[in-house]
Copies of this chain bind each other. A is one copy, B any other.
Amino acid sequence: MSVYQQNFTIQSAARPTFDDVTEQVHKILAGSGIKDGLLVVFSQHTTCSVLIQEASDDLNYWGIDFLMQDLVNVLEKIIPTCLTEGQYLHPGPEHIVAAQGRDELPSWSLNTDAHLRSVILGRSVTIPVADSQMILGEFGRIYFADFDQVRARERTVRVHIIGE
């Protein structure tokens, strides 16, 4: 039994992005030498999620899978994009003081929608590994979702594998 860990980065945009990271994760698994166990793909960012979904084949004008845009459209109905302070409780006055102490612009905290959408979708997926392969079925792909719409950022995708 051993533990193997590796991370890589993706570049998000100032709108919801969904990066198919299946190939990167597959390469990390191959490099680990682990044949049977559990693999976790994890987001350390609290406005991001990791999802398993089928690829749509079709993409919208922004290059987003139709199925992921459908997900954004559904979430928009219950968690509208945060456009101004006062729309949600967060960010409150204490938060803005703290953010300015970190040299963040107040407008960067208008990502309440992303915090709420991402916590509903979850921060990680756990995938069984058997015979050196992730069990993803015929159609499963791993997506790193960044719901933050206030600014483009470099994001870290963490992969941890335990097994033998």
Contact = CB atoms under 8 A, between A and B. Distances in A.
A36 to B, nearest CB: 5
Contact of A119 (B51, B137, B162): B51
Interface string A130-164: 10000111011000000000000000101010111
Main secondary structure of the interface of A (DSSP, over half): mixed
A45 interface: yes
B92 A56 contact: yes
B66 A89 contact: yes
A98 interface: yes
Interface of A: 1-3, 5, 36-38, 40, 42, 44-46, 51-54, 56-58, 60, 65-67, 69-71, 73-74, 77-79, 88-95, 97-98, 112, 115-116, 119-128, 130, 135-137, 139-140, 156, 158, 160, 162-164
In the complex, the 3 A-B pairs of residues with the closest C-beta atoms, listed nearest first? A58-B92, A44-B137, A66-B89
Contacts of A46: 52-54, 137, 139-140
Most B C-beta atoms less than 10 A away, residue of A53, A70, A140, A163: A70
A71 B162 CA distance: 33
A34 B129 CA distance: 18
Contacts of A54: 46, 115
A73 to B, nearest CB: 8
B58 A94 contact: yes
Contacts of A60: 89
B78 A74 contact: yes
Contact of A89 (B37, B51, B70): B70
